[in-house]
Chain A
């Protein structure tokens, strides 16, 4: 069965600290896709990244980086030098290739609070 677990419910850091948000997934498919979305206080869901299961290269985009490790079924997200504007709920999500519809299975989300 497919499942996404974000064990950290809430994280609070002080501005400029680095922070890592954990995501562990379960799937029986060999081909799958992983996503991170950001939900700021205004409520919308903002796409951050998509990775497929065959691409384990870590990715960096500005202050954001992602560490994908198939061996531990994890897809962790690190924010370097956090800023107050990073305060949001962050969701990790999984889509299985076996699901022809592309539906997303979301984790519970991690609320990140960055204090000035």
Chain B
């Protein structure tokens, strides 16, 4: 039973346009959410996070929105660049989840392709 779902396996966007990647979660105990970017055969790199006390967090071209009532978060990339082409993973954690703080539950990822 997936607690973090990324329902779009892939997304294709034109360079300069907005990329919107979506993530849904089922566990209402989740209170911290993260986005990671991953290139093939490499480890994921942290992009941006948001805690449940906020509904928006911005860092440069990246903005994460959190809608707690809908159990939904999204990552906006504006403007999209070819170098953004990668797999993006959404992750969530809850204080004390699994008997330990800090453990992350990952979605299956969305492959973003940004075309020049």
**A, B in one complex:** no
List residues of chain A with CB under 8 Å of any chain B CB: none
List residues of chain B with CB under 8 Å of any chain A CB: none
